[in-house]
Amino acid sequence: MSEEKKLFKVTIDNITIDVEPGTTVLNAARQIGGDVTPPAMCYYSKLQGSGGKCRTCLVEVAAGSTADPRPMPKLVASCRTNVMDGMIVKNITSEKVIDARNGVVEFLLINHPLDCPICDQAGECDLQDLGYSHGKEGTRYEFKRRTFEREDIGPYIQLHMTRCILCYRCTYVADQITNTRVHGILDRGDHAEISTYISKAIDNDFSGNMIDVCPVGALTDKTFRFKNRVWFTKPVDAHRDCSTCCGKVTLWQRGDEVLRVTARKDQWNEVQNYDGKPGWICNTCRFDKKKTSDWVIDGLTNISRHSVISQGKYPGLVRPHEMLADVMGGREPKLLMDIHDVSEVNDPSVDLSLIEGPATSKDFEKK
Amino acid sequence: MGRKLLLDKINVENIRLYDVYRREGGYRSVEKALKTMSPEAVTEEVKKSGLRGRGGAGFPTGMKWGFLAKPAGVPRYLVVNADESEPGTFKDRYLMEFIPHLLIEGMITSSFAIGSNRSYIYIRGEFAWIVDILEQAIAEAKNNGWLGKNILGSGFDCEIYVQRGAGAYICGEETALLESLEGKRGNPRIKPPFPAVKGLWDCPTVVNNVETIAAVVPIINDGGEEYAKIGIGKSTGTKLISACGNINRQGVYEIDMTISVEEFIYSDEYCGGIPNNRKLKACIPGGSSVPILPANLLLTTAKGEKRMMTYESLADGGFQTGSMMGSGGFIVLDDRQCVIRHTFTLARFYRHESCGQCSPCREGTGWMEKILWNIETGKGKMSDIDLLWDIQRKIEGNTICPLGDAAAWPVAAAIRHFRDEFEWHITNPDDAQRRNYGLAGYADPIKIATPA
């Protein structure tokens, strides 16, 4: 019998887990899953050297290891801190962490345009999720927000720096999965911007993956811009034989029309691995194959119930338990006006998931 | 008259040139180290001296050298941090400009101790003329056999290169400096790994300040124990202080760390008092990023003791009532100065110099600057003071490198000690545009509560 590998015992928010040496705290927390996992805006497990920049994944290390149980003096970035045996980490159980994280979210949002209603990323945006979970409803920032001109980098991608949170993910993509490095960060501080050198076009087979790794709507697919809201489209897993990439994608359809093609994402909104390699897809698959006939459909994409994208799409889902009656002791709430008395739209007796295509007013007509 | 170790020959004519420097006893330490000592013995001597890093953090140099990983077959590097850009600090410039051979000599000895065959001076881009001075000094040293292959027949090879920065304050942070030296964008790295394990080109590296390396020369010449006798407690040896602001005699002074702050400001040997007999309002004792102190806390500590020019005494009381030795940029403010204006200037500097890598520093520094500008120009609100406090609290400690802390501390200290001046600025916006708040009670002696 081969010698068993020694595993490190690490405790995150009082949950103990055994992980392999060399695992980061964030990945250990991801193995536990749930609320214990710190949010990550810049870390991307498939990109080397990413992480450590956004500071949303800060955690408190209450004990460094069994050998050296001293706590770490500062909060550490969990995405770049490796676990030690006997390490005790506090994430949501530490007030310091919550406070710092709320601060970071505020910092990320003060210069963000908050143009979600017209942003293509809305509905699948990491910053939106983060804002919902940690943001405040009001802002304390009273100054003009920083803006940039929109810029086309290459024929397929538009860069909207105003929305960027400078996570550096796209520069790592350009460095690591494409051959030539043509873009990076210009300037520094709060006027730093992602750009190609003097507005050069990014022209290589895998450039489209920058759109997939972007946690916000700074890099958008020009073939999809303003075509539709993501939650109106239906994600379907599909594949085709591709000579340059793995060919495994998600099609975002409306009816039979393919509006958008992206790589398949896992639960952390990262590109899935196939045969141990990240399933990056090439530009031909992403931008040119926009017919259903180009693809072999594998079935509906599994979308988290919490995502807005899943709304009204999957029949037979367990619906959340209605709490109102329980709370009110069985009484119905007294409404000033029931919207369904005056409006026919969104009649609760109509199951949206059973309707072919998006709902229209016809579906709600009383027969 | 304090003892001078670094600047005792500074007034010798043409000390900048090799012949004069050698005649005045230069390069003795290299001879001593390479001919009679082992590298470990040199490190041991530096450890004994108690020399602390002169760049700002005050970390014991000998210990830093001791931490250096020494895997076989991997080169080690010594990098001298000459990217002196802290507002108020100009001691390294003075040293390099007028006595460059002292640095070169210290570097050869230190390289020998560390085992670095290629050592670098990373110099601030704006010091363009000093690059020429250093390169001339290196060429002279090389012509006279102090650099190159097999120095003094000891079998030790060493070359020194000068690299100019491109004008970024952040490149004074050691890991950003290494990135920049490698030819990349000067973004600080995430630590660990520390440079002692993975530094320049992933090899073990020691990054030291110019003054630290220069101080190795007298340590080797006279012995570490002799050096440790100067100063008080753990603050051994001499320290260069660059004094500026409202004082009669601005300039670089070498002090042995035994004098009090009061003596330093008012004695004729050093700053020579404040011009026009004005009163001392505040002082930043260690370069722009350390907390500002009002006069009463500067001259005496909260415990009522006299504050000395030492690492420990300046830090006495923590950030509540103390400050830091920092890099030795001594900025004096008299009663005409406006603390809000001053804090705004620093906040603007840090916003401009933030690398933009991590979000608290990138967004927070700009926000603080804008709020301070509002207060300064009479558009502030009372809530802005608490907001500023909250912002600095959320930047401090949450960033990759210490620039976030450095940006937060001056703002925090200004609010902590000068809150009434902030409030006056907000409640009297018109007055604040015409005159200064003045001295208030900042110079009055601190009342010490009698124990019950």
Question: How many alpha carbons lie under 13 Å from residue B114 in its C-beta half-sphere?
Answer: 35
Among B202, B229, B256, where does a domain finish?
Answer: B229
How far apart are alpha carbons B17 and B157 in whole angstroms?
A: 23
A280, B58, B242, B324 from B312: Cα distances, Å: 56, 10, 19, 8
How many structural domains are present in chain B?
3
Fold of A116-221: Alpha-Beta Plaits (3.30.70)
Q: Would residue B449 count as lying in a domain? A: no
Q: CA nearest B381 in A: which residue?
A: A142
The pLDDT, as a whole number, for residue B368 is 93
Strand partners for A158: A152, A220
Inspect the interface and report whether the beta carbons of A187 and B356 lie closer than 8 Å: yes
Interface A:B, Cβ pairs < 8 A: 89
Shared domain for B202 and B86, answered yes or no, is: yes
User: Amino acid identity of A38?
Assistant: P
Fold of A8-100: Ubiquitin-like (UB roll) (3.10.20)
Residue A314 has pLDDT above 70, yes or no: no
How far apart are alpha carbons A32 and A37 in whole angstroms?
A: 7
Spans of all domains in chain A: 8-100, 116-221, 228-333, 334-364
Smallest CA–CA separation between A63 and chain B, in Å?
17
CATH number at residue B366: 1.20.1440.230
How far apart are alpha carbons B60 and B47 in whole angstroms?
A: 8
Shared domain for B374 and B419, answered yes or no, is: yes
Shared domain for B385 and B415, answered yes or no, is: yes
Q: Would residue B443 count as lying in a domain? A: no
For each successive 10 residues of chain B (452 residues), what is the average pLDDT? 78 88 88 89 89 86 87 89 90 91 92 91 91 92 89 88 90 91 89 86 91 91 87 86 91 88 89 89 90 89 86 85 88 90 93 90 92 91 92 90 90 92 91 84 74 70
Q: Can you say whether the dihedral through the CA atoms of A131, A135, A136, A138 is positive or negative?
A: negative
3-state SS class at B118 = strand
CB-count burial class (<10 Å; 0-12, 13-18, 19+) for B38: exposed
Q: How many CB atoms sit inside 10 A of residue B299's CB?
A: 20
User: Amino acid identity of A227?
Assistant: K
Among B308, B334, B360, where does a domain finish?
Answer: B334
B81, B215, B228 from B49: Cα distances, Å: 21, 10, 5
A16's tokens: 């103990």
The pLDDT, as a whole number, for residue A1 is 44
Strand partners for B252: B242
Among B334, B351, B385, where does a domain finish?
Answer: B334
Candidate from A100, A184, A188 with C-beta closest to B394:
A100
Dump pLDDT digits (tens) for A16-44.
999 988 889 999 999 888 888 999 999 99
A179's tokens: 């051959």
B109's tokens: 């000895």
The pLDDT, as a whole number, for residue A316 is 59
Pairing of strands A193-196, B116-123: unpaired
How far apart are alpha carbons B282 and A300 in whole angstroms?
A: 68
Q: Can you say whether the dihedral through the CA atoms of B17, B18, B23, B26 is positive or negative?
A: positive
Dump pLDDT digits (tens) for A329-342.
878 778 888 887 87
DSSP string, B16-62: TSHHHHHHTTTTHHHHHHHHH--HHHHHHHHHHHT-B-SSSS--BHH
**Among A160-164, A316-320, B45-49, B133-137, whose mean pLDDT is lowest?**
A316-320
Chain A interface mutation, best of B197, B362, B373, B403, highest count of A Cβ atoms under 10 Å: B362
Question: Considering the entire predicted model, what is its pTM?
Answer: 0.87
Instruction: Give the domain extent around B264.
Output: 232-334
Question: B8 in contact with A at a CB cutoff of 8 Å?
Answer: no
How far apart are alpha carbons B307 and B318 in whole angstroms?
A: 13
Phi, psi at A202, each rounded to 5°: -90, 120
Interface of B with A in 165-194 (CB under 8 A): 168, 170, 185, 190
Shared domain for B368 and B222, answered yes or no, is: no
Pairing of strands A87-90, A8-12: parallel
The pLDDT, as a whole number, for residue B351 is 92
CATH number at residue B283: 3.10.20.600
Q: Can you say whether the dihedral through the CA atoms of A11, A12, A16, A22 is positive or negative?
A: negative
DSSP string, B247-274: SSS-EEEEEETTSBHHHHHHSTTTT---
The pLDDT, as a whole number, for residue A177 is 82
**C-alpha B148 chain-centroid distance:** 31
Q: Would residue B451 count as lying in a domain? A: no
The pLDDT, as a whole number, for residue B392 is 92
How far apart are alpha carbons B113 and B42 in whole angstroms?
A: 6
Smallest CA–CA separation between B397 and chain A, in Å?
6
Phi, psi at B237, each rounded to 5°: 80, -160
Q: Would residue B189 count as lying in a domain? A: yes
Candidate from B354, B359, B387 with C-beta closest to A108:
B359
Q: Would residue B296 count as lying in a domain? A: yes
CATH number at residue B128: 3.40.50.11540
Question: B354 in contact with A at a CB cutoff of 8 Å?
Answer: yes
Q: Would residue B7 count as lying in a domain? A: no
Q: Would residue B313 count as lying in a domain? A: yes
Smallest CA–CA separation between A164 and chain B, in Å?
11
Shared domain for B254 and B198, answered yes or no, is: no
Shared domain for B359 and B315, answered yes or no, is: no
Pairing of strands B159-164, B116-123: parallel
B417's tokens: 């000690």
Q: Would residue B292 count as lying in a domain? A: yes
Shared domain for B346 and B400, answered yes or no, is: yes
Shared domain for B286 and B351, answered yes or no, is: no
Candidate from B185, B358, B367 with C-beta closest to A141:
B367
From chain B, pick out residues whose CB is under 8 angstroms from the CB of A166.
356-357, 359, 362
Confidence at A216, pLDDT banded by 50, 70, 90: very high
Phi, psi at B417, each rounded to 5°: -100, -20
**What is the number of helices (H) and of strands (E) in chain B?**
19, 11
